[in-house]
Amino acid sequence: MQSFEKPILVCSRCLGFDNCRFNGQILYNDLVNSLKPYVEFKTPCPETDIGLGVPRYPVRIIQDKGQNTMFQPSTKSDFTGKMNSFVKEYLNNLNAVDGFILKSKSPSCGIGDVKVYKDVDNPANFSKGDGLFGGEVKRRFSGKAVEDEMRLSNPRILDHFLKKIFTLAAFRKVKKANNIKALIELQTKNKLLYMSYNQKELKNLGNIVASHKKKDKGEILEKYENHLDIALARGPTYKSNINVLHHALGYVSENISREEKTFFLDTIQMYKEDRAPFESCLSLIYSWVLRFDVEYLKNQTLFHPYPDELRKGFEPDRRREFWG
Q: Tell me: do 24 and 42 sit in the same domain.
A: yes
1 domain-assigned: no
Report the C-alpha gap between 224 and 184 in whole angstroms.
11
Start-to-end CA span in the chain (Å): 36
Using DSSP's 3-state secondary structure scheme, residue 117 falls into strand
Residues 192 and 240 in one domain: yes
Instruction: Indicate whether 296 and 180 sit together in one domain.
Output: yes
Distance CA 98, CA 10 (A): 8
Position 313 scores a pLDDT of: 52
Domain boundary among 153, 181, 204: 153
Please give the angle made by the CA atoms of 138, 141 and 147, to the nearest 5 degrees: 55
Helices (H), the chain: 30-35, 46-49, 80-92, 132-140, 155-177, 180-189, 191-197, 199-210, 217-231, 238-249, 258-272, 278-291, 295-298
Q: Are residues 142 and 111 in the same domain?
A: yes
* Number of domains into which the chain is organized: 2
In a domain, 63, yes or no: yes
Which pLDDT value is given to residue 322? 43
The DSSP line for 244-313 is: HHHHHHTTTTTTS-HHHHHHHHHHHHHHHTTSS-HHHHHHHHHHHHHHTT-HHHHT-TTT-SS-GGGGTT
Confidence (pLDDT) at 119: 81
Write down the pLDDT at residue 324. Answer: 34
Which amino acid is residue 121, in one-letter code? D
- pLDDT recorded at residue 314: 53
Domain-located, residue 3: no
Whether 21 maps to a domain, the answer reads: yes
Neighbours of 243 (CB within 10 A): 15
Q: Looking at the structure, tell me whether residues 208 and 185 fall in a common domain.
A: yes
Q: Which of 153, 178, 205 is the last residue of a domain?
A: 153
Digit-by-digit pLDDT tens for the chain (324 residues) are: 578 999 999 999 999 999 999 999 999 999 999 999 999 999 999 999 999 999 999 999 999 888 999 999 999 999 999 999 999 999 999 989 999 999 999 999 999 999 999 987 777 789 999 999 999 999 999 999 999 999 999 999 999 999 999 999 999 999 999 999 999 999 999 999 999 999 999 999 999 999 988 788 999 999 999 999 999 999 999 999 999 999 999 999 999 999 999 999 999 999 999 999 999 999 999 999 999 999 999 999 999 999 999 987 555 444 444 433
Neighbours of 19 (CB within 10 A): 13
The answer to whether residues 197 and 300 belong to one domain is: yes
CA distance 199 to 196: 7
Instruction: For residues 159 and 298, state if they share a domain.
Output: yes
In a domain, 254, yes or no: yes
pTM: 0.93
Is 2 domain-assigned?
no
CA quadruple 92, 141, 81, 74: dihedral sign:
negative
Quick check: is 313 in a domain? yes
pLDDT attached to residue 323:
39
Q: What is the CA radius of gyration of the chain?
A: 22
| Residues 107 and 206 occupy one common structural domain | no
**Within this chain, do residues 113 and 64 fall inside the same structural domain, yes or no?**
yes
Q: Residue 33: count other Cβ atoms within 10 Å of its Cβ.
A: 11
- Domain endpoint, select from 153, 176, 203: 153
Query: Residue 182 in 3-state DSSP?
Result: helix
| Residues 95, 92: Cα–Cα separation, whole Å | 8
Based on the domain organization, do 321 and 245 belong to the same domain? yes
What is the distance between the alpha carbons of residues 111 and 92, in angstroms, rounded to a whole number? 19
3-state DSSP call for residue 63? strand
Task: Give the closest residue to 99 by CA, choosing from 145, 31, 45.
Answer: 145
Pair (203, 303) in one structural domain: yes
Could you tell me the residue range of the domain that residue 313 belongs to?
155-324
- Does 119 reside within a domain? yes
Position 56 scores a pLDDT of 96
Are 142 and 220 found together in one domain?
A: no
